[in-house]
Each structure stands twice: as C-alpha cells, then as structure tokens.
C-alpha cells in the first residue's frame, strides 16, 4: 500500500515513484494489557485516546492493528508465564530468556511502523510482572548530583509534564551478529538482520525532568536502572548528560507504544527510549535516573555493548578488566547499516514467466540523528554501482499541522532536523543482468559521508556488524534462486556463509570465501573438524557383516561406532556399567547412543579397542537392519517388555507431580499382561528426541516399578529446569514437555553390573556374593535404585538381610518416596530415630537435612563420613558381609569418604557397589559411572580441556563476571587466618565473635585438611629454602632496620626472590618536595647509543641480582576433584564464591569492631548527669 499524501507531488518529484511496504490505514486502539487477564481496567489520562481519531486528511503512517495473542505453551513453565506473545517471533536463546526477532519478510511487510507483535525483544532475564492496577502508581526517581531530587509516579509524569509522540527506530547492537558468529564465534548469540523495529513512542522529554531536578556543576552523565533483577544486579547503563538535555537528541521517558500501554516485553509500564543509539541504552522497566560525574559502574554497562579491538579474543578478554572499562570502546550511536529484504532467502524467480525486472528492496538506517543519503547496489562485487531510490516515511510526520496531538502526545516533529527512523530503498533490476551476476551487494552512506565497509570488523561481542549486505544468485533450470548470508540462530537453510565455510572457503580472505584471482589454481582444504580420534590409524583391517555377527554374544563382543568395529572383550570387567552394557550392543551399530552418552575420556580410550572397519556393503546392511520394523502382533505376544539389544516403544500415559521439580512418568507397555522385565538393582536406558534439534538424548534411569509389574512402567524423574545463568537438563526438560497420550519413548535394557537375587545373594559383574547387611546411602532422586533393593529385601519375609538406609536431602519437601520408605522400614521393625540396627531390626531408616526448617526433629547436617561412622559404625576386621550401596551426587560420595574407609581395613573391605545404581547420567559423563549419580553435581566451573586434571585459572566459571581462581587454598587460609587474628580484638563474650570465629575455624580446618598432591614435600623444601636464605626471605616482613625489602622478579617462567637494600633518601632534597622543576629536560639530549648503554647496564644489574636471588617453587594447587570435594564440604557454592565471602567477612570485621556491636544499644546517661535530681528515700 502507498502512503496517503495530501499532494501527488513534492519538491522532489512524484511520491508514487517510491514504493513503500504496506502501512494499514489509521486504526484507533484502546489500552490492552499483554499480560494474562484480558482487558485493562485502568482509567486515566494515559488511556484516553480520543484525540487519536483522524482530524481531516493525515499524511503520515499509523500503526497496523495488532493481533490478539495469548501466553504460548513454551512460556507457561518459565517466569514469563504472564506474558502474551506472537508465535511468529524467532527465539534466539532458547525458550528463556526471551530474545527474539521477526522473520525478515514479515517485519518488512508490516510497514514503516512495527506492531508489538513483531517488535524485536532483548531480555536479559525474566520480565517483571506489573498488574494493570499498579501501572499508574509505578514509582521512579531522579537522584544523584541534582539540586532537587524527584520521586514520581507514572500518574505524576502524565499529569505534570508535557507529553510528546514521535516515531523512533530501535536497533539491537547485535543486529546481523550471526554473520560474525559464522566467521568466528563471539560471546553473543546469533541475531539475523531483523533485530530492529519502529514504533510511535509517547512520553516526556528526559530533558524536562532533568531541568526540574537541576543537575549540579560537575555532573556529566545520566545513569538509568531498571527493575529487572539479574545475576549481576539490576540492568543499568548511562549516557552523557548533554545528550539527555539536548532536545535535538529526543531522549524520552516513554509510557506508550503505538498508542497502547507498554507491552511487558517492552518495559511496562515505563522505559527510556533513545533515538539513534543502540537499544541497550534504552532501559526498560525504569526505576532510577541517577545524575553522576562518571559513567555507570553497572556490570551490564561495562561488560556489554562494547566493540573491543578486533585482536582481542574471547579467551583473552576474560583477563582484561581495564579494557572492558575503557569508555572509548562503549557503543552509543548506531553505525550506518542496510539489508536486502526482497528477494527473500531461497526465493525463486522465473526467467521465462512474469516481469522482465525484479524490484529489489530493503531497509537502511544511520545513527546519532544522521540521515541515510544514498543506497548503492552493485552486481559486479563493487566495480560499478547504481543508486537506488530511497523513501523516508519519517518525513511525513514533519508535515503534520503544528501542535497536532497523536496518542495523547504532541506530534513533536515539525521542527526536528534529526532522523530517528529507518528508511526504505528499492531498485528495479533486469533479470538479464541478474542472470549474468554472481551476487547482489548493497551499501548505504549517511550525511557525514560515512559509508558501510566492504569487510567485516570482527569483535569479541560481535556488535555493530555492518559490512556490505550480500545476496548470492544461483542459476537453476529456468529460474534464479537467491541466498542470504545467514538465517537467525536455529532457522534451517543456513545461508551462503555457512555453506561456503563448510565447503572450506575462507570467509576472511576479502572475497567472501570465494577464490581470489590469485588463488584460482590453489586447492581448497575443507574446514578441519576438531574432534577426538576414535580409531587407531595403524589398523587397516576390513570386516564383513558375517564376521561381525559371529561376535554378537557374551564372548568376544564386537560393536560398531561410525562404521568402525571395536572389540569390547578386554573391557568387560572394567566397564563401569558392567559387561551387560557392552554385550547389549554386541553385533550392532551403537553410534547414536555411544556418542550421546559417553564422556570425552571414554571416547579417547576407543583407539585401544579398535580392530577394523566395516566394508561399505556391510555397513549399509547394518544400518538398514538397525531398526527393524516390529509388527504389533509381535509386540502383543512378547511377554517381557525390555530387550537388551532392541529399542522398545512405550506410550506416555500419565504425569503425576509429587514435588515442585519431581514427577512420576507412567508409560503403557504393549499389553496389560506384559512385564517390565527389569531385575532388582539394574536400570534401563531411555531415548527420545530433542524437540529443538531433533538429536537423540539417552539417559539411564531406575524405575520405581517392580520388574514383575505388568502393563505399566513408572519412572520417577527430578526435572532440572533452565534458570538465570545456567542451563537445565536436556533430557528431563524434554521429557517434561512430551504430550500425554501422544508421545512414544524408546526403552532398552536391562543394564548394570549389580543385581540383587534375594535372600542376601548378589551378583557383581556376574559373580555371586553373599551379604548379611546392606548400608544404603542416597540423596534426592538417587533414592530410586536404593528403594528397589530395599523393597525386595523387606517384602520377602524369609530374607534376613539387614538394611541401614541413610537418606540425605536439603529440606523436608525434597525427601522422595518417603511414605513408601517409611512403610518398608516398618515392615523391617525399624525406622527413622530407632537404635542402631540390632538383632531385632531388619531395617533402620535415617533421614538428615542440610537446610532443615525449624519444625524438623530429625538429624541435621550433610551426608559425610562422620554421619556414616556414627550411624553405621566402623568396619570390623573380618567383616566381609557388609555391602555399601551409594546413589546420589558425586560430592556426597566424596564427603562420605568411603574409599578411605575401604583402605582403613584392606583385609576386610566394606564393599562399595554403586557402579550401576543410577537414575541419570549426563552427555559429558561415561555411560556407567563408578559412582552412581542422581545427576551430575551442578558444576559451573568450565574446564577448557575436558580431560584436564586441574581447573584453568582465569577460565569462565559459568557465573557471570566470576573467573576461575588461580590459588584458592592459600588465599582462603590467609583470609581465614587474618579474620581470626582480627577477631581477637572483640570480647570473648561477643556473640558476633563467637559465631564468626566458630564458622571460620571450621572452614579453615576443612581447607587445611585438603592438601594438593606433593604439598608436604613442597612445604619441607620451602621451609629449608627460607632457612638457608634468611636475607632474602627476611626482607619479606616489614620493619627491617637495614631498610631491606623483598623484590619478586619473574624471568623465563621462574619466580625469583631478591633482597634489596633501600637507600635512605637524601634529606637535602626534602625541601624541594612539591615544587616543579622547570629546567631543561636532559632526556632529550641523550643519544640513542647512550640510552642503549644505560639500558644494557640495567639489564646486567638485574641479571646480577637474579644470581644473588633465590628461585621460588610455586605452591602445588588443588586438583579439580579436590576443589569440588572442598566445595561440597563447605556448602557455600563455588570456591570462587567462598573466596569472595571470606574477603567480605575480613573487611566486615573492621566495621564491626569500630561499631562495637557487642555493646548495648540502649542509650545510657553520662555518669553523674542526673545526680542533682535524685530524691532521697
């Protein structure tokens, strides 16, 4: 549709020559809340849109009519369950947080103004919930360096200040970032070219508010802070004060968008809108405006929205805090950018039918109020250019009558010279010219003559990407097909950049990955895929399908991964999951399940078992036979559901919620009489498809069903949801999203090394063993395999095996299967709180909570070795009849210290068979782990090398802004020791001293008890080194009479400690302190040769000092396992968080000592103050 104009011509010619995307006719909308709950009940000046009705003929576009949306199913289980959204939006960061852009064609087709339905969204976390009744009472402040601080409500803002309305295009700084991510991964997620939108915003000029608050002299910046609580505090940023005060900049405190109250995703009820700058400066859910003398120190202002120098890599950026804080790299004004919207990606145009030209069209924008003055198109990669037509719908608002009111605000555009919005361009290109071209590229230029660059400027955050926009032309039979550079995030189709990269093209060669004129004859190597090698390159044997099938049994089992054949015979006993895990895959192609479950360490072992590769014909036969179609008749007749070598499908029929994050999933077997077929103590494999990527996800679970149950299978699953700053469980969340009554899930089994056969008889890796007592230790959903074995023992009256069950959880609500466990314990004559298992008790059940409520009367504390010894007792010499079963987080098993308990009595081991009792695994863990895991311990410390023993210092931990500490043990010992020393100044009776001292001593003892390998030997060498060189190390302390001090010098990777005697300063020079020497600068009179001689002399003196110094050996550091164990014992998060808390506690001691917190707060009179008024009795 063409824009309606009062005149068919302007000074620049007929308007109808410039085609615009359609803008629907004027539509008046009431205030509609986009949260659940329907129509708004708010009645106030902000809701009065009567003045929005057309007053005569209008020349400017009005917003399209928005759709009636609803809360989408994927948002129901997130903190954004109150926000209604358009399903067309493309999610760029998964389900939550909500970061989206519209399909490019839909965005363009909607016209100059974008509805809230298709407006891009950038949320760092959950959307604050603000009910309609709270909107007008929403409070915000103007504070800081102002003469008159203000505290206002939205009602005050509407009533007391002039309202204005004008169009503004907002653009995310990451627009087109996907192109940078294809070249090299940045730290940002992948935006396509639709990270921009335009709307009519209504609100109050920020300058009006600041003028009333009256900034003080010296104020230079205005900081904004929103209400969105994030991992690193509330989102905030800043802009320069002079921009905020400048009416030409048009910075607005907005409360309406396209005539409606703000949508929750767009800042309901109040936000900042800054024209011409990146969207990251337009803070949503506004709560504070702070005038200051310096830029914002908000974490998100410093570590987001920057263009760092291109040579800084993501790895290097983690250790460059000063670079991040350099305001020269902060982004404010947008750069000049453009994109081709039509032809769309993968659009085809017939060469024989239809018009002989194609109308190319798209958008362009500039920043800082600049106007895009030209858009150029090239068909020969920049050798020649053609000017395109440009239209500026924004200019139509400038023609509106003076003081016209739109959506409750004066249409404040007639006087403005600045451009706040995108513009549109188009150009008709003959199909014959397109048929002769490889590609079409465009570039825009603004009124400062700044033109888009030819090549990309890559940076660590991938922001402000604006090279020429290139669309590749493919010649198909009788048609042309157009290929855009990328598609946003997960949208299939890729784009030419991903295609070229996969084909081995170098996207940074200056020719868009194509061969340059000098490379025409050079061979192109495909991009190397960095992966763990699973084969032995020396093995060349070809194996046929017949040979493979001879090894599909228990003896010499062979299996296939990626077409390569492996012999698992040598690993039958060593496999953590038992021989059945290998035998179950014998003679089969197990590529999918092997790669989905096994860790990098497990994959690295594969070359040792590689014996050859299947020939092509055999591999094809194996793949075709991998999933034989099973007839319904066969399933109906099969008495046992589980099969060790074949996946069996079961229908999800019910979900029952038993705690906030735990559900029982019920699956229907093939017929009512079919048994599960799972021996006691073993588990099964579950497989389903990731709904986002369609990749197979496999995990091991222990159902709560008995193996003899018929018709149904019940599996208890703890669901790990995504949260701020961490990713949840892929399997559990995918399982939770399956629709009841429709979804089929694959099962295979049984799997596991341990089996309980009844009456004290067990099988460990197929070998029988008799036990008289089980010690069962579990936590969380790790109770399910324990429950299986306990149920088998307790329900058999003839089974006299005794059981001690220790079940640890955080809070009482986390205790799973509690009623069932209590009932089983009652059958055994014991239960929680009974005496240690005596002759009359078949079962003793003990619960302990690490974070109990006040009403809890059971044991308190973590599952550790002390609890084990107290409740179970130490092993007795000659006691070979006790078996310990462990199922829970890895940290729990370490704190129980069962390995050490084992080593205490090597002749009478306390058997530990947690090898196969499990409820889940992770893709990064082995198929069957040595210690059963309810889940992998939530370990956010990222390891740069997966198989590394030590955590890499400075690597990301997974917590924003927190990096891996280089030496946590020595740091904590220093901090705790210093804290205890300072506490001596407080009275012993002080509760503050007693509490802090007790906790600090406890944690200090834990840290000191955890020693890295080789620490004792290092300490002896260090003590001897100090004793042998008292001069050097004596200088490390303060107050030496000889003025000596220590100098630490690092040279060639070694650390030297050098004694340095400080020369007393010439007292005669003191009288000149503070005065400026205006004499000649002798530095400039020295020759280069003299300066080099002086430098050489300095180097010789340094070498001489090092010879007299002592080489210091660095202290051994804790391994990753030791750090995780220490974290579990301390129980206060990551070790880096523990260090931060210890630093804060040390600083707090000084404050508490100064405040004398142990003294009474009651005001006491000075001695003798009231003596005169005292009456005698």
Closest listed residue to residue 701, CA positions, set 685, 722, 687, 718: 685
Q: Which helix (H) or strand (E) holds 291?
A: strand 286-292
Report the residue count for the chain: 1177
The count of C-alpha atoms lying within 13 angstroms of the C-alpha of 829, restricted to the half-sphere facing its C-beta, is 12
Q: Does 172 participate in catalysis according to the annotation? A: yes
CA distance 593 to 1039: 67
Helices (H) and strands (E) in the chain, counts: 30, 49
How many other C-beta atoms are found inside a 10 Å radius of the C-beta of residue 382?
Answer: 12
CA distance 541 to 567: 13
Mention every residue, 6+ apart, whose C-beta is less than 8 A from residue 640: 674, 675, 676, 677
Judged by DSSP in three states, 559 sits in strand
Choose, from 305, 337, 589, 809, the residue flagged as catalytic: 305
The owner of tokens 């699956």 is: 667
CA distance 488 to 472: 17
Q: Does 304 participate in catalysis according to the annotation? A: yes
Q: DSSP letter string over 394-437? A: HHHHHTSPTT-EETTEEETTTT--S--S-EEEEEEEEHHHHHH-
Judged by DSSP in three states, 891 sits in helix
Mention every residue, 6+ apart, whose C-beta is less than 8 A from residue 14: 8
Q: How far is CA 265 from the centre of its chain?
A: 20
How many Å from the N-terminal Cα to the C-terminal Cα in the chain?
101
What b/e string do you get for 951-961 counting C-beta neighbours within 10 Å, with b at 16 or more? bbeebbbbbee
Cis ω on the peptide bond leading into residue 425 (within 30° of 0)? no
What b/e string do you get for 729-744 counting C-beta neighbours within 10 Å, with b at 16 or more? bbbbbebbebeeeebe
* 3-state secondary structure string across 744-775: EEEEEEEECCEEEEECCEEEECCEEEECCEEE
How many other C-beta atoms are found inside a 10 Å radius of the C-beta of residue 876?
Answer: 10
Q: How far is CA 430 from the centre of its chain?
A: 48
Closest listed residue to residue 201, CA positions, set 250, 258, 260, 162: 258
Choose, from 33, 80, 117, 172, the residue flagged as catalytic: 172
The owner of tokens 């991998």 is: 626
Choose, from 117, 132, 228, 304, the residue flagged as catalytic: 304
What helix, strand, coil percent values describe the chain, rounded to 5? 25, 25, 50
Q: Are 740 and 654 in contact (CB under 8 A)?
A: yes
Radius of gyration of the chain (CA): 36
Q: DSSP letter string over 1014-1047? A: THHHHHHHHHHHHHH-HHHHHTTSS--TT-EEEE
CA distance 249 to 21: 27
Cis ω on the peptide bond leading into residue 948 (within 30° of 0)? no
**How far, CA to CA in Å, does 545 sit from each of 563, 606, 623, 645?**
11, 21, 11, 17
Closest listed residue to residue 855, CA positions, set 811, 819, 805: 811
Q: Does 843 participate in catalysis according to the annotation? A: no
Orientation of helix 1135-1155 relative to helix 968-983, angle to 10°: 20
Residues designated catalytic: 172, 304-305
């Amino acid at each position: 549709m063409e824009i309606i104009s009062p005149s068919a011509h302007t000074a620049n010619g007929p308007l109808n020559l410039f085609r615009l995307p359609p803008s629907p006719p004027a539509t008046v909308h009431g205030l509609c809340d986009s949260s659940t709950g329907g129509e708004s009940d708010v009645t106030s000046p902000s809701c009065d849109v009567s003045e929005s009705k057309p007053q005569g003929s209008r020349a400017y576009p009005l917003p399209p009519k928005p759709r009636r949306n609803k809360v989408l199913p994927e948002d129901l289980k997130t903190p954004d369950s109150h926000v209604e959204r358009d399903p067309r939006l493309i999610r760029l960061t998964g389900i939550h947080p909500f970061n989206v852009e519209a399909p490019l064609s839909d965005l363009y087709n909607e016209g100059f103004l974008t509805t809230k339905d298709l407006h891009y969204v950038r949320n760092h976390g959950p959307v604050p919930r603000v009910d309609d009744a709270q909107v007008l009472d929403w409070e915000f402040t103007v504070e800081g360096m102002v003469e008159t601080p203000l505290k206002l409500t939205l009602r005050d803002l509407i009533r007391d200040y002039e309202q204005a309305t004008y169009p503004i295009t907002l653009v995310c700084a990451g627009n087109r970032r996907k192109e940078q991510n294809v070249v090299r991964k940045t730290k940002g997620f992948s935006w396509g070219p639709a990270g921009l939108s335009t709307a009519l915003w209504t609100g109050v000029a920020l300058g009006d508010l600041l003028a009333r608050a009256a900034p003080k002299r010296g104020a230079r910046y205005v900081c904004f802070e929103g209400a969105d609580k994030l991992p690193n505090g509330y989102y905030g940023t800043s802009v320069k004060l002079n921009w905020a005060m400048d009416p030409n900049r048009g910075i607005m405190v907005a409360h309406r968008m396209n005539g409606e109250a703000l949508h929750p995703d767009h800042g309901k009820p109040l936000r900042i809108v800054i024209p011409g700058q990146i969207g990251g400066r337009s803070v949503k859910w506004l709560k504070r405006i702070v005038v200051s003398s310096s830029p914002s120190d908000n974490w998100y202002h410093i570590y987001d929205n920057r263009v760092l120098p291109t040579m800084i890599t993501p790895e290097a950026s983690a250790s460059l805090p000063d670079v991040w804080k350099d305001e020269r790299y902060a982004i404010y004004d947008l750069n000049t950018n453009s994109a081709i919207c039509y032809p769309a990606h993968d659009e085809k145009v017939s060469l024989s039918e239809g018009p002989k030209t194609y109308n190319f069209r798209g958008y362009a924008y500039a920043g800082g109020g600049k106007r895009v003055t030209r858009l150029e198109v090239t068909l020969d990669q920049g050798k020649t250019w053609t000017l395109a037509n440009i239209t500026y719908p924004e200019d139509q608002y400038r023609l509106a009558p003076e003081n016209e009111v739109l959506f409750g605000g004066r249409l404040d555009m007639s006087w403005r010279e600045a451009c706040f919005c995108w513009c549109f361009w188009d150009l008709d290109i003959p199909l014959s010219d397109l048929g002769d071209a490889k590609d079409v590229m465009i570039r825009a230029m603004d009124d400062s003559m700044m033109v888009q660059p030819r090549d990309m400027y890559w940076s660590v955050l991938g922001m402000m990407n604006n090279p020429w926009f290139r669309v590749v032309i493919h010649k198909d039979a009788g048609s042309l097909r157009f290929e855009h550079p990328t598609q946003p995030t997960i949208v299939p189709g890729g784009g030419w950049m991903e295609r070229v990269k996969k084909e081995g093209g170098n996207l940074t060669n200056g020719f868009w990955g194509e061969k340059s004129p000098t490379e025409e004859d050079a061979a192109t190597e495909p991009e190397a895929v960095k992966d763990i090698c699973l084969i032995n390159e020396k093995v060349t044997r070809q194996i046929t399908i017949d040979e493979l099938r001879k090894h599909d049994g228990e003896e010499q089992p062979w299996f296939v991964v990626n077409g390569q054949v492996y012999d698992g015979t040598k690993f039958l006993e060593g496999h953590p999951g038992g021989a059945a895990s290998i035998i179950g895959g014998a003679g089969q192609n197990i590529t999918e399940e092997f790669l989905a479950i096994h860790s990098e360490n497990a994959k690295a072992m594969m070359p040792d078992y590689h014996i050859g590769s299947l020939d092509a014909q055999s591999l094809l036969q194996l793949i075709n036979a991998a999933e034989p179609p099973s007839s319904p008749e066969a399933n109906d007749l099969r008495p046992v559901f589980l099969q060790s070598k074949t996946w069996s499908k079961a229908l999800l029929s019910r979900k029952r919620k038993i705690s906030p994050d735990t559900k029982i999933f019920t699956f229907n077997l093939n017929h009512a009489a079919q048994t599960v077929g799972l021996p006691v103590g073993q588990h099964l494999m579950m497989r389903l498809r990731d709904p986002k990527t369609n990749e197979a996800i496999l995990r091991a679970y222990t159902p709560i069903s008995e193996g003899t149950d018929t018709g149904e299978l019940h599996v208890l699953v703890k669901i790990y949801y995504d949260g701020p700053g961490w990713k949840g469980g892929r399997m559990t969340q995918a399982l939770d999203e399956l629709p009841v009554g429709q979804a089929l899930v694959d099962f295979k089994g049984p799997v596991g090394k341990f089996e309980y056969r009844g009456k004290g008889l067990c099988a460990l890796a197929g070998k029988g063993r008799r036990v008289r007592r089980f010690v069962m230790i579990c936590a969380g959903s790790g109770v399910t395999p324990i429950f299986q074995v306990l149920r088998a023992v307790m329900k058999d009256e003839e089974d006299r095996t005794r059981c001690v069950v220790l079940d640890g959880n955080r809070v009482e609500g986390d205790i799973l299967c509690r009623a069932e466990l209590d009932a089983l314990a009652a059958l055994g004559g014991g239960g929680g709180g009974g005496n240690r298992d005596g002759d009359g008790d078949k079962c003793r059940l003990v619960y302990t909570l690490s974070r109990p409520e006040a009403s809890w009367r059971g044991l308190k504390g973590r599952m550790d070795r002390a609890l084990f010894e107290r409740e179970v007792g130490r092993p007795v010499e000659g006691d070979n009849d006790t078996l310990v079963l462990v199922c829970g987080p890895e940290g729990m098993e370490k704190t129980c210290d069962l390995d050490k308990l084992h080593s205490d009595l090597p002749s009478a081991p306390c058997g530990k068979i947690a090898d196969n009792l499990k409820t889940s695994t992770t893709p990064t863990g082995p198929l069957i782990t040595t210690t059963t895991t309810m889940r992998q311990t939530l370990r956010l410390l990222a390891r740069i090398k997966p198989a590394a023993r030590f955590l890499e210092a400075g690597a990301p931990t997974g917590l924003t802004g927190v990096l891996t500490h280089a030496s946590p043990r020595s740091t904590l010992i220093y901090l705790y020791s210093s804290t205890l020393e300072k506490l001596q100044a407080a009275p012993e009776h002080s509760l503050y001293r007693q509490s802090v001292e007790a906790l600090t001593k406890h944690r200090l003892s834990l840290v000191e008890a955890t020693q890295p390998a080789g620490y004792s030997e290092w300490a002896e060498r260090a003590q001897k080194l100090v004793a042998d060189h008292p001069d050097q190390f004596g200088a490390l302390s303060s107050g030496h009479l000889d003025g000596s001090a220590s100098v630490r010098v690092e040279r060639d990777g070694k650390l030297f400690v050098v004694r340095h005697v400080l020369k007393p300063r010439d007292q005669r020079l003191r009288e000149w302190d503070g005065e400026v020497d205006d004499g000649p600068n002798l530095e400039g009179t020295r020759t280069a040769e003299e300066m080099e001689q002086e430098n050489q002399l300095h180097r010789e003196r340094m070498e001489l000092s090092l010879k007299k110094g002592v080489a210091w050996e660095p202290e051994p550091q804790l391994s990753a396992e030791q750090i995780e164990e220490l974290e579990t014992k301390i129980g206060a998060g990551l070790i880096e968080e523990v260090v931060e808390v210890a630093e804060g506690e040390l600083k707090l001691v000084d404050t508490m000592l100064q405040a004398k917190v142990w003294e009474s707060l009651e005001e006491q009179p000075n001695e003798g103050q009231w003596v005169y008024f005292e009456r005698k009795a």
